[in-house]
Structure 1
């Protein structure tokens, strides 16, 4: 059984007990929450397609920990003007586990 859910601005294909990284949701580590938007679910060869989302199916998620993504470096310069700037960014992420998955 698997489902396609929307968390934040991204969509994920998830199965039972799967762990994945998502953008920070505003909740703390250890908290549980339900995916608000469930787009697609498949269970025992039955397909449930949301139009635009499924109302009866549920996916419960638990936040395991807060992590940071890889460092991204950027460099900007303007020729003949003696202008250069270096910047970096690390995205705030959360490791999330699928606790339960039900397509009713």
Structure 2
């Protein structure tokens, strides 16, 4: 199963073909296709490619389903003993997209091998000084 980690709107999303996600509002019409070029990681049958910071030549193609607004978040400010109460709300504008495909570049030189780093060795403890009954 292939998947990618993309960055849009200051957030990161793990996406696979066919996924439906809601992202921060994008300037696109409903039904249009958009490309996400900031791909941080790609996993497919040949392995995992990790970008530094992005994977070159890889993009994720998505179709815009709807421009919508999120659930209302209530903000309530309160100060005791002063009769100060302020209630406001906020609804974030969102874009709902369906991931169509993950397109890989043709160059294979950009692959980064994923290796496990060795555990750092524990520092050696200082030898314990044993005191004798005569105080030395």
Question: Scaled by the length of structure 2, what TM-score is found?
Answer: 0.71
Instruction: Give the 4+ runs in structure 1 shifted more than 4 A.
Output: none
Contact 1:42 1:103 in 2 (8 A): no
Contact 2:37 2:58 in 1 (8 A): no
Question: What are the Cα deviations for residues 29-81 of structure 1, in whole angstroms up to 9, with x where unaligned?
Answer: 22211102011001104111111111111211111001211111121122232
RMSD: 1.3
Q: The residue matched to 2:75 in structure 1 has which SS?
A: strand
Distance across 1 between alignment mates of 2:64 and 2:35: 11
What is the deviation of 1:93? 0.9
What is the deviation of 1:28? 2.4
Distance across 2 between alignment mates of 1:102 and 1:49: 15
Q: Quote the residue 1:19 is aligned against.
A: 20
Distance across 1 between alignment mates of 2:10 and 2:30: 20
Contact 2:38 2:59 in 1 (8 A): no
Unaligned runs of 5+ in 2: 106-136
Distance across 1 between alignment mates of 2:79 and 2:14: 43
Give the aligned length: 104
Unaligned runs of 5+ in 1: none
Contact 2:5 2:40 in 1 (8 A): yes
The worse-fitting range, judged by mean Cα deviation, of 74-83 and 39-48 is: 74-83
Distance across 2 between alignment mates of 1:46 and 1:80: 62
| CA radius of gyration, larger in | 2
